[in-house]
Structure 1
Amino acid sequence: MKNRFLLAFLFLTVFAFAQKTTFKIKYSEQLAVFIFLQHLSENYPDNVFKTEFEKSKYNTDKYKIVISKFDKLVLDYSCRFDEFPYGSKKTMQTEDVLKKNLIETTDLISFKNRSVGIIPSKTLIDLAESISEFTPIYNELIYNPNKEKFEKQLEEITKYSNEHHIENFFNTGLLFYNSSWDNAIPFEIAFYPLPNSKGFTAQAFCNNAISAIQTDLKSYKDLFSVMMHEIYHIIYDEQSLEVKTAIDTYFKENKSNSSNYAYQLMNEVLATDLGNGYVYEQLDGKTDTYDWYNRKYINLMAKQIYPLVKEYIEQKKPIDKNFIDNYIRLYEENFPNWINELDNIMTYRYVLSENENDFTAIGRMFRYRSRTQYDSEITDGSIEKMKETPLTKMVIISKNNPQKLKLLKSKFKELNKWQFKADKDFAYKILLDDKSQLIVINQKKETLETLIKSIK
């Protein structure tokens, strides 16, 4: 997401999309308190919410116990849509559904009624009790001191959104992505105040988006360009099985060695082009000359293909095979070495290691991640499962090295002629036929970090 800032709406405003679909934009106290509690966790980095709480009269053992109990609640279970091509559709997360229900209900009784069955009943009861306990604390420390500024900004934003017909950009995305949306389902966006801050992060899920508002934000074009960036992720996710299967086929049939990693990057690149590129340009009258995204691979590729994306938008053409082929060509011609840069390819990783500390080390070395899977066994079955994915495949061998290396060699035809010395430290990388990189780490004496840094 581009490092620009969104502004929020406190009261309900309705925008018409395609004359029928509506945006219901509002402030949700329940959601705001939930996020407040998340930010008070000991495991959460320093933030403005934690700062305000720690210097308040509520920073006592009584409330620390509530925070600790909330922090231990298991709220996030997942469900994959296995019929879709791997990685093309977002996994359903129960925490997203819980946040959706917090937004779309006005009291905790209604929230619990709607959320029964999503998580265990005891967990749901404890969650509602935590939110109830901290609602007056949140209002006293965060909401009420910022209420006046918050509401004044929202009046200005409402006028801006109406004057610039923001709803039209939703239809632009539907057409470009060849996606669909049921007009009977409103898109609900919830915002909450973020005092003493110069930044925020936005998130979208289901038919909802959430974001914070800093009290001194003035640039409304930044607000809507980033908001639409997040919404475009949902429009991409809602492509039909047929559309996603066709796009997946276009990438797999392309002969370029870069096709797989270009595909992994595409979702974020296109949302950046449409939101931070096209929407911003339409609102400001000129293209944004600053970075559109704070990660080089996404930022540079988005700017590289923006003329192609804009051409399709202006001609009202949906993504097709020609678009995909040109996208891959521009990736390969302009950034041919990206498929060898670990900072890029380890964003999408599947790691096998019998030492679970290696997973923590990998996380430290490659903090930015999009898709990640870990397995603490190196077996015939775990290797086969890894092979089924298009992710970068890293196998770290530190036990029974000769046997594990022989097993690995037998599972990949690309390793038929590979010669290795099981008693020596080494790191080996090879591009597989599925256009993903396989990285083999044989660890005897050297640290994992040293071996990974030795990869050419």
Structure 2
Amino acid sequence: MKNKFLILFLLLTAFAFGQKTTFKIKYSEKLAVFIFLQNLSEDYPENVFKTEFIKSKYNNEHYKDIISKFNQLNIFYSFRFEEYPYGSKKNMQTEDILKKNMIETETLADFKLRSMGIVPNKTLSDLAEYISVFTPIYNELIYNPNKDKFEKQIVEITKYASDNQAEHYFETGLLFYNSAWDASIPFEIAFYPLPNSKGFTAQAFCNNFISAIQTDLESYKDLFSVMLHETYHIIYDEQSLEVKTEIDGYFKENKSNCSNYAYQLMNEALATALGNGYVYEKLDGKVDPNDWYGRKYINLIAKQIYPLVTAYIEQKKPIEKNFIDSYIKIYEENFPNWINELDNIMTYRYVLTENEKDFSLIRQLFRYRSRTEYDSAITESSIEKMQNTPLTKVVIISKNSKEKIALLKRKFPELKNWKVNANKEFSEKFLLEDKSQLIILNQKEATIEALFKLLK
């Protein structure tokens, strides 16, 4: 008998609010089909889902038309929690809420009812229809051929988490981050099968962790440590406004030129040190000798701060000013030039340009991004908006150079004595008072890529 909604309950004691926090491990068919459809899009790179679909009988104009219509749905709206320090709390994303509702509801009718008002009704109705049409296709191509292995994995993962006292790691995170969790809200953990693959995926949002797991996965250390890594992002995000404001103040008070970019990196650095470092070591009995993260900046800083993080965990101390100052010092002493490396600082960027094609060019040049803002005007108001963020500030001038340069000099005190020929191409970089970098490109004939290379 096919179990479309396999739900196994794993109870973890977290002692938040003096109650038990419940972690529910399950398979969500709606979520799996939604992600299947996303992976069939022309915009997505080659993947196992697309491979299976292309060689199937469903690879025809009728179903490709539905995939195209699905890809054109706009379910991507967001808003920022304005009272929190910039970047300290994740923006609310409507896509995340829709995926959350897919996990928590049992039928498409329930999903539509729960999701009313998040996106336009026509968009929601079309989304549900496309998921309905592709559900039997997904089951035939992906789920049913892997059903036995996958359901066995869910049982084993649940037992592994219970045997290794997962509640301890959740509780550790709450204390370390000086955060809290309402125990009446459960964590919903949704897995789905990933056949013919050598890795798994991981994402966290709201009270959810989702992961595609390869069907031949037998060791769960890596999966479990990554699951906790993502859980720590949620715990960090749920710090109170007071805690986040204090932490923001500690970084701003620190005199190091590295303090801003250390701050931008901290969320991933801490989650990696905790999940991929501390949790993995407890599970395996020794520190993982391999890379902890696939990006060098996160991997290297996480390993450098690991002794500091574990010392706080062992002493049951939460993050406070001394921790932040020590973290910044480690960053500055070990990686002083990171604040000048474009691959690092362009991860957090605010771009002003009057040529909207520049946005896609920059995305191609600097594919890894954490926080991005774009504006297609170079005006007093757009510059002021940019100045109110701690992001790397990029201004690309392609016309009226003399006027735009004069405007920048008026708005940035650091440019007061800056002398430059507006009629010639140039690339300039300045460290601002807020410890962010200002990059100014004056474009005449050269490409954006060529101008960025001049900064290296």
**TM superposition score category, shorter chain reference:** over 0.9
Stretches of structure 1 lacking an aligned partner (at least 5 in a row): 1-8
| Equivalent position amino acid for 2:10 in 1 | V
Whichever residue aligns with residue 301 of structure 2, its letter is M
What do residues 401-448 of structure 1 show as CA deviations (whole Å, max 9, x unaligned)? Answer: 111111111110000000010011110111000000001111112221
Q: Are the aligned partners of 2:396 and 2:440 in contact in 1 as well (CA < 8 Å)?
A: yes
Match of 2:201 in 1: 201
Shift of 1:15: 2.2
Partner of 2:99 in structure 1?
99
- The answer to which structure, 1 or 2, has the higher relative contact order (CA under 8 A, 6+ apart) is 1
Is contact 1:10-1:192 (8 Å) kept? no
In the aligned structure 2, how far is the partner of 1:379 from the partner of 1:157?
54
- CA shift, 1:371, in A, is 0.5
In structure 1, distance between residues paired with 2:364 and 2:153: 39
- Match runs of 1:227-246 below 5 Å: 227-246=227-246
C-alpha distance in 1 between matches for 2:160 and 2:446 = 59
How many Å separate the matches in 1 of 2:79 and 2:446? 39
Quick one: distance in 1 between partners of 2:13 and 2:58? 44
- Counterpart contact for 2:12–2:166, Cα < 8 Å: no
Partner of 2:268: 268
TM-score w.r.t. length of structure 2: 0.97
> Alignment identity in percent?
74
Structural mapping, 1:139-178, within 5 Å: 139-178=139-178
> Corresponding residue for 1:350?
350
Q: Distance in 1 between matches of 2:366 and 2:180?
A: 35
* Corresponding residue of 2:7: 11
Q: Is 1:359 aligned to 2:351, yes or no?
A: no
Q: Following TM superposition, by how much is the alpha carbon of 1:364 offset from its aligned partner in structure 2, in angstroms?
A: 1.3
- Cα deviation, residue 152, structure 1: 2.1
Which amino acid is the alignment partner of residue 224 of structure 2? F
- Any conservation in 2 of the 1:17–1:23 contact (CA below 8 Å)? no
Residues in 2 aligned to 1:86 and 1:105: alpha-carbon distance in whole angstroms: 33
More moved, 13-22 vs 383-392: 13-22
2:386 is the counterpart of 1:386: yes
- What residue identity is the alignment partner of 2:443? Q
Q: Which residue of 1 aligns with 2:316?
A: 316
Look up the SS of the partner of 2:190 in the other structure: strand
Q: Which amino acid aligns with 2:455?
A: I
Q: Return the alpha-carbon distance in structure 1 between the equivalents of residues 421 and 170 of structure 2.
A: 57
Give the whole-Å Cα distance in 1 for the aligned partners of 2:154 and 2:435.
48
Please give the per-residue CA displacement for 1:250-280, whole angstroms capped at 9, x wherever unaligned.
0000000000000000000000001000000
Residue 132 of structure 1 aligns with which residue?
A: 132
Matches within 5 A, 1:64-79: 64-79=64-79
Q: What amino acid does structure 2 have at the position aligned with 1:183?
A: A
- RMSD value, Cα: 1.0
Report the equivalent of 2:399: 399
SS of structure 2 residue aligned to 1:430: strand
Query: Secondary structure of 2:336's match?
Result: coil
Corresponding residue of 1:422: 422
Counterpart residue type for residue 13 of structure 1 = F
- TM-score, with structure 1 as normaliser: 0.97
**SS where residue 210 of structure 2 aligns?**
strand
TM-fit CA distance, 1:248: 0.1
Structure 2: 5+ residue runs without aligned partners? Answer: none
Residue 199 of structure 1 deviates from its aligned partner by: 1.5
Alignment-derived partner of residue 119 in structure 2: 119
Q: Is the 8 A contact 2:429 2:438 kept in 1?
A: yes
Residue 10 of structure 1 deviates from its aligned partner by 4.8
5 Å-filtered alignment, 1:72-87, equals 72-87=72-87
Displacement of 1:60 = 1.2
Shift of 1:105: 0.4
Aligned counterpart, 1:438:
438
Q: Secondary structure at the match of 2:434?
A: coil
Amino acid at match of 1:95: E
Mapped contact 2:251–2:263 kept (Cα < 8 A): yes
Q: For residue 340 of structure 1, what is the aligned residue in structure 2?
A: 340
SS in 1 for 2:212: strand
